[in-house]
Chain A
Amino acid sequence: MKTRAGKLFPLGLLLGMGLLTSWLDILTQWQQPAQRVLNPNQPEYTIEQVSAKRFDEQGRPWQQLHAASMWKLPQAEAVHFTAPDLQQFQQGTPDYRITASSGSYRKSLDIADFSGQVHLQRASQNGKAPMHLYTEALRLDNRQQLASSQVAVRLDYGSSQIRSVGLIYNHQAGQLKLLSQVRMHYVP
């Protein structure tokens, strides 16, 4: 009797361990959270008083963003900002700064759109006067290094001033295209 029990014991033990493991497996099975159906017109999240800074390889300031709030809709890629204040640095020194009533950014296209009292200011460089651009809508295409607007713009450059409706500025080529209704006041 003893020998039969001796033989059965390891089998019983194995069986028991197997049952125990599968039971624990069921218990600990990570249940995918039931997909919450989000309202597509309501933000998935909002962040208040955003302050973000990025640094270059030498640890110098590269980009700095402040915003009153930041939010995103569930099924949309764009991230939205209210009262964005974006500053771009070049080797640690301020290059340009953009403030607006609102803005949005799409990572896949690397495009930022600013609207409402948009003010782009380019710091004074190599003794040249600082440049200020005022408009109601401005798009920055970082990939193409283009700034563009389809509405009225005003550029102040020292005591000279340019107005037009529609503008495309190619940062790399240093070319500015004024699309229509061009008015210039140039002080020699």
Chain B
Amino acid sequence: EKADSGKPIELAADRGSLDQKQGINILEGNVVATQGTLSMRADKTIVTRDAQGNQTLQAFGSPATFRQKVDGKNEYIEGQASRVDYTSASNLVILTGKARVKRGQDLVTGEQITYNTVSEVYQVMGSTPSASGTPKGRVTVILQPKPQDKP
């Protein structure tokens, strides 16, 4: 939900290191982060903040997972991948490595999924852009028909 971003963030982990000068915070081991309706689990997270206050989050896991309620609906978005990148400046969430996003009953899977949290637009790729040679991966999108309003 949009209101999540103004809520306090609760973090738990086995170990942590905070570098004030570089603005890099690393958490490792059973990392659990929650902010409002958003919750994330990972083996390791790296949060950086630049001079302008823009934050980037990298989460690594087997897989790293996140779950967040859709704004104004009783519906959740759930995502998982080997790596999740989130950039506050561009509102982009990039899931890389066996990526999977489920929203309500709709499901998208692929090697890399890019999701804009503002425009709610997805982009799915069968293989990561950096993969050499002809892309071999496949993309799967399952969209459930919306129940028709009875006349």
Interface set of A (CB-CB < 8 Å, partner B): 162, 164, 173-188
Within 8 Å by CB of B6, from A164, A185, A188, lies: A188
A173 and B21 contact, Cβ closer than 8 Å, known pairs A186-B8, A187-B8, A188-B5: yes
Instruction: Name the B residues within 8 Å of A176 (CB-CB).
Output: 17-20
Within 8 Å by CB of A184, from B11, B17, B20, lies: B11
Within 8 Å by CB of A174, from B5, B13, B20, lies: B20
A-B contact pairs, 17 of them (CB 8 A): A173-B19, A175-B19, A175-B20, A176-B19, A177-B15, A177-B16, A182-B11, A182-B12, A182-B13, A182-B15, A182-B16, A183-B10, A184-B10, A185-B9, A186-B8, A186-B11, A188-B6
- CB-nearest residue of chain A to B19: A175
Asked if B27 is at the interface of the complex by the 8 Å CB criterion, the answer is yes
Interface set of B (CB-CB < 8 Å, partner A): 5-6, 8-21, 27
Instruction: Name the B residues within 8 Å of A181 (CB-CB).
Output: 14
A178 and B16 contact, Cβ closer than 8 Å, known pairs A183-B11, A185-B8, A187-B8: yes
The A-B contact count (CB < 8 A) is 56
A174 and B19 contact, Cβ closer than 8 Å, known pairs A184-B9, A185-B8, A188-B8: yes
Instruction: Name the A residues within 8 Å of B19 (CB-CB).
Output: 173-176
Classify the interface of chain B: helix, strand, loop or mixed: strand
Within 8 Å by CB of A179, from B6, B9, B15, B21, lies: B15
Task: Tell me the complex Cα distance, A78–B86, Å.
Answer: 51
- CB-nearest residue of chain A to B27: A182
Within 8 Å by CB of B21, from A174, A178, A180, A185, lies: A174
Task: Tell me the complex Cα distance, A175–B26, Å.
Answer: 11
A178 and B15 contact, Cβ closer than 8 Å, known pairs A186-B9, A188-B6, A188-B8: yes
Within 8 Å by CB of A178, from B6, B9, B17, lies: B17
Task: Tell me the complex Cα distance, A123–B21, Å.
Answer: 18
- CB-nearest residue of chain A to B17: A177
Distance of B106 from chain A, by nearest CB (Å): 30
Instruction: Name the A residues within 8 Å of B16 (CB-CB).
Output: 162, 164, 177-178, 182, 184
Interface hub of B6, B16, B17 (most chain A Cβ within 10 A)? B16
Distance of B31 from chain A, by nearest CB (Å): 9
Contact (Cβ within 8 A) B11 A188: no
Task: Tell me the complex Cα distance, A177–B6, Å.
Answer: 27
Instruction: Name the A residues within 8 Å of B13 (CB-CB).
Output: 182
Distance of B84 from chain A, by nearest CB (Å): 19
Task: Tell me the complex Cα distance, A5–B123, Å.
Answer: 130
Task: Tell me the complex Cα distance, A143–B13, Å.
Answer: 31
Nearest 7 pairs of A and B residues by beta carbon: A178-B16, A174-B20, A184-B11, A174-B21, A182-B16, A186-B9, A176-B18
Other A-B pairs beyond A178-B18, A186-B9, A186-B10, 16, CB < 8 Å:
A173-B19, A174-B21, A175-B17, A175-B18, A176-B18, A176-B19, A179-B15, A182-B11, A182-B14, A182-B16, A183-B11, A184-B10, A185-B11, A187-B8, A188-B6, A188-B8
Instruction: Name the B residues within 8 Å of A186 (CB-CB).
Output: 8-11
Instruction: Name the A residues within 8 Å of B15 (CB-CB).
Output: 177-180, 182
Instruction: Name the B residues within 8 Å of A180 (CB-CB).
Output: 14-15
